[in-house]
Amino acid sequence: MTTLFTPAQRQQIYDDILILLKADTRITGVISIGARDATFSDDNDSINLLVIIEKPSIIDILFTLWVKRLEDHFVDAVLFNFILNEQDHKLDILLDNYLQVTLQFRAINRFHLVGDDWCVVFDHINHIQQYIDNRKLTREQHIRKTYNNHMKTIWQPIVSCVRELRRDNLWKANAELETLRRHLIEIAGLRHLQFTQDYDNMSLLPEMFLVQLRHTLPTNTTDTAIRRALKMTVSMLLTETNQLDIQFDTAYTQQLEQNLNSLVDLYT
């Protein structure tokens, strides 16, 4: 019978991986994401490491070599997934005992961190911390940057949802609605100073927002239910973006409303 790894077992795997990483002189240092220290408190904690490389030119080959090295390291373990994102140099491993291990390889001049939920585990050049401090975004800079990124693509799931409804492709329409809802939740998190990516910290958002958010879930997979949920999602989205536009003196809400008017004209 499969059981969850205990905190002690998770710690042992974490320590073993760090020993391997430290032995590679091409690796500048390692940052642990999501924890201020290397201790594990329960049977569900994951391992999330940012592997820092000083020379950007060697990341591709080093990432490839480390994928093979970790495959060999875990050869005796049963894996559910060994997922690569080569474009982002990211490796996700899910072990049979439900321990997720994530390693991201980054050049020292091509990343920044927000907040304090991380720590430098080791540093061969003794200036990773200084580099991060010099490049660290303020909370407002991070909010503005993330908001801008959302608003560049926010129109896509709206258009796609309407298009799939027109095609009577209701499951696809519902999937596009879910993408839009994720945008809404992350934008609401920006306004209320909470990190809500991947639905984290949802309980910290205002109760009234969460009550309204329930109405963005279709009651079933009919055309009427999805359209009703889409209307509510867009309405809540415009409320959030309007407040952020006031804060940052931007005009994203006005632009989005103009595009939505064009969308209504096109599909009616």
Phi (first) and psi of residue 91, to 5 degrees: -125, 125
Under the banding of pLDDT at 50, 70 and 90, the label for residue 240 is very high
- Per the structure, the count of domains in the chain is 2
Q: Considering the domain boundaries, does residue 175 fall inside one?
A: yes
Convert the pLDDT of each residue in 61-94 to its tens digit: 999 999 999 988 887 776 767 788 878 899 998 8
Query: Please, how many CA atoms are within 13 Å of residue 238, restricted to the half-sphere of its CB?
Result: 15
- Of 135, 153, 176, which residue constitutes the final position of a domain? 135
- Measured CA to CA, the distance from residue 84 to residue 105 in angstroms comes to 12
Q: Which domain holds residue 88?
A: 7-135
Least confident of 1-5, 103-107, 159-163: 1-5
* Residue 35 confidence (pLDDT): 62
- Measured CA to CA, the distance from residue 65 to residue 73 in angstroms comes to 12
> CATH number for the domain including 11?
3.30.460
Q: Considering the domain boundaries, does residue 53 fall inside one?
A: yes
Whole-structure pTM value: 0.69
Q: Considering the domain boundaries, does residue 262 fall inside one?
A: yes
Convert the pLDDT of each residue in 95-147 to its tens digit: 888 888 999 999 987 777 766 778 889 998 888 888 777 766 677 788 898 99
